[in-house]
A and B are shown apart, each in its own frame.
Chain A
Amino acid sequence: MTETTFVEAIASTLATAMREDSRVIVLGEDVAEGGPYLATAGLAEEFGRERVRNTPISEGAVCGVAIGAAQSGLRPVVEIMFIDFITLALDQLVNQAAKAHFMSGGQLSVPLVLRTQGGAGQRNGAQHSQSLEAWLTHVPGLKVVMPSNAADAAGLLKTAIADPNPVVFVECKALYFRRESVPDPPPPVPIGRAHTLRAGKDVTVIALSRMVGDALEAANRLASDHGIEAEVIDPRTLVPLDLDALAQSVKRTGRAVIAHEAVNAGGFGAELAAQLQAAAFDYLEAPIQRVGAPYTPVPVSPPLEDAYRPGPREIEAAVRVALEWGEYDAEPWEHGAIAGERL
């Protein structure tokens, strides 16, 4: 095991992939300078600026370049600095990358990784803090990956680069700089396999990205304060989704809470809840609870942003609702109630 951080794990996995395969190239804004979060630090020095290409602020064309290179034999890893700017590349991603294999009757494939990062918490405001992963899961042909820790980030990135399909790799800026222990070398993590981080019999908490750590914190407190044993599962990849693992857990516990930082309305939790209720309806003791952000853009002012971001406390409250359902006239848990109290 080595001590490292999420971003260091990303940079070092990219370097390993570039050493092992000359087809791997990295491109994006400021990538040769290491980028604002240093996720590509050291690559230009080791591999040169032909393979580590700084690009102008042209997200659409840069994403398209990566697609064209991928379908011509390279293995590009393109960085979109903030997921908010993926809006500018969606035509290429949605209309070209996702459909090239299908529309060509299988002639073309697009082994592309698009790395980006999202999430709030740094007072960056409404255009640098969003969680937009659900949009991408709506497009057949894309794979969507959301690692919650450094070891998974390294293992999933390795697998994503080897995958013959376009993989959108959604990181979380709030996770970037924590010290973590990672196996050396980090083992590859298969795309499409969930990870159970904590076993429990009372309720299943399915958490994405940053919310995995928050779910563990909530689960520990629920256990020590209330004797509630929550099972915490990280799907790790949204497309493909390891529904079997999630449904099996929910069938055992009979209760489910889904937690992500994205706005609840139209969020990936809605899809998860729909799939889970279809797979485990007869086992459910309570409605599936969702924890997510309220239906507003992300505010800058610190108390407002803190209230906006769901965390362990919201997960705990949602678990209590799921567990107490039927014991009394519990109201479905709503984010705003706690947000208001904290303000």
Chain B
Amino acid sequence: MDRDVAHALLRTMWRIRLFEERVAQLKRSLQVHGLIHLSIGGEGVAAAVCGQLRNDDAVYSGHRAHGHAIAKGTPMKRVMAELMGRADGLCRGIGGSMHLVDAEHGFMGATGVVGGNLPLALGTALTQHLNGTDQVTVVFFGDGAVQAGHFNESINLAALWKLPLIFVCENNGFAEFTSRAEHSTVERVSAVVAPYGFERDTVDGSDVPAVHAAFAQLLDQARGGTGPFLLECLTFRRRGHYEGDPEKYRDPEAEQEWLRRDPIARMTERAVEEDWIGSGAAETIEREAREEVEEAVRFARDSPFPDPEIAPTLVYAQ
């Protein structure tokens, strides 16, 4: 792996990890608002996928979206301000954690409705197709969305219309509080889409170089105007479904599993082994990310709450 790429992947993962750990703290002290879903354990997928996209490619995400936005290029401080409901937030504090949008960076939106983003991503991919560009659309969703009606409708339509769309499933084995085995008899999401005949792959989501390589191969084809594709990444959800989830369903063995599946630990070990990063580089990346997170918190705290008068002006576009 290219040293710059490895460095960038580690940097993005640390930025997401430390951002979200800080968000968890701020949630406990009620400084960020609403339902908060963290992606700790899945940072490698966000980093490896979004890191290969251009600014003018589109990304859609679900309710666990902070990492995808940050990896796509959204300034962390504006995500933090949004979570705190401040005027300088990405969406002026109106959207919140589950509804991040950063059109300038091609982050076309998170949604709080599981699977609700899938048809929207098709619409953007259809626009790219009709405009004849080499842009692509990526839509992130979890294995829980696969049982929703929109998923099946969307997979069928995307295949039928051959859209330049890459479905990226983060299969963490849990739909909210419940294991996949209780929701479906089909274990692998790549098997669900098999009859539609498009290329699909399942990779270990904590093996970041593997995610990177698998996505690169699909992206290359999508740029050429073919599609759709599905990349299923098996990830580990380190936190509960949301912050505050009592996690009664959590297997006590999970702590041991985490040690094997932490994508940052694995990537760092590998990067040092392969000499992708120099000695001390990992510590520098972590320190810089920590500084950026603290700066984001200061930025957000300094930002005022939005003027209540703004809400009625945003219901309709003029």
Contact = CB atoms under 8 A, between A and B. Distances in A.
Contacts of B318: 164
Interface string A60-97: 11111111111111101000000000000001100110
B153 interface: yes
A72 B127 contact: yes
Interface stretch (B154-162, B213-221, B257-265, B295-303): B154-162
A56 B158 CA distance: 11
Interface residues of B, number: 46
Interface stretch (A34-42, A102-110, A279-287): A102-110
A141 interface: yes
B150 A61 contact: yes
Contact of A64 (B112, B123, B314): B123
A109 B317 CA distance: 6
A53 B160 CA distance: 11
Contact of B149 (A60, A96, A165): A60
A69 B95 contact: no
B186 interface: no
Given A25-B130, A104-B103, A56 B156 contact: yes
Interface in A94-124: 95-96, 99-111
Contact of B116 (A53, A96, A106): A96
B99 interface: yes
Contact of A74 (B90, B127, B157): B127
Given A108-B109, A141-B316, A103 B91 contact: yes
Interface string B80-114: 00000000011111110001011110001101110
A227 interface: no
A190 to B, nearest CB: 14
Contact of A58 (B120, B153, B311): B153
A108 B153 contact: no
A76 B92 CA distance: 28
Contacts of A140: 315
B95 A56 contact: no
A277 interface: no
Nearest to B90: A105
Instruction: Select the residue from A60, A65, A66, A73 with max chain B CB neighbours within 10 A.
Output: A65
B99 A71 contact: no
B23 interface: no
Contacts of B89: 105
Contact of A61 (B90, B103, B154, B311): B154
Given A58-B157, A64-B116, A74-B127, A106 B317 contact: yes
Nearest to B313: A106
B153 A104 contact: no
B42 to A, nearest CB: 23
Contacts of B104: 107
A56 B157 CA distance: 8
Given A60-B153, A102-B94, A105-B94, A95 B113 contact: yes
A230 B211 CA distance: 72
B91 A104 contact: yes
Interface string B123-137: 111111011000000
B130 A100 contact: no
B157 A65 contact: yes
A109 B156 CA distance: 27
Contacts of A65: 119-120, 122-123, 126, 157
A91 B123 contact: no
A45 to B, nearest CB: 19
Interface string B144-174: 0000011001101100110000000000000
B58 interface: yes
A49 to B, nearest CB: 11
A51 interface: yes
B95 A103 contact: yes
With a 10 A CB-CB cut-off, give which of A56, A99, A109 has the most chain B CB atoms.
A99
A66 B119 CA distance: 8
B233 interface: no
Interface string A1-29: 00000000000000000000000010000
B103 to A, nearest CB: 4
Given A61-B122, A67-B120, A96-B111, A51 B94 contact: no
| Of A53, A58, A61, A101, most B-chain CB atoms within 10 Å | A61
B154 to A, nearest CB: 5
B121 interface: yes
A86 to B, nearest CB: 15
B48 interface: no
Interface in B261-318: 311, 314-318
Nearest to A100: B109
A271 interface: no
Contacts of A264: none
A58 B314 contact: no
Given A65-B123, A104-B101, 12 more contacts: A25-B130, A56-B153, A65-B126, A67-B120, A72-B58, A73-B131, A74-B126, A91-B113, A95-B112, A96-B113, A96-B120, A105-B94
19 contacts: A50-B130, A60-B119, A60-B150, A61-B119, A64-B119, A68-B119, A68-B124, A69-B127, A71-B123, A73-B131, A76-B123, A91-B150, A92-B120, A101-B315, A101-B317, A103-B99, A107-B91, A108-B101, A165-B317
**6 cross-chain pairs, A with B, having the tightest CB-CB distances, nearest first:** A68-B123, A64-B119, A61-B153, A105-B92, A105-B91, A68-B120
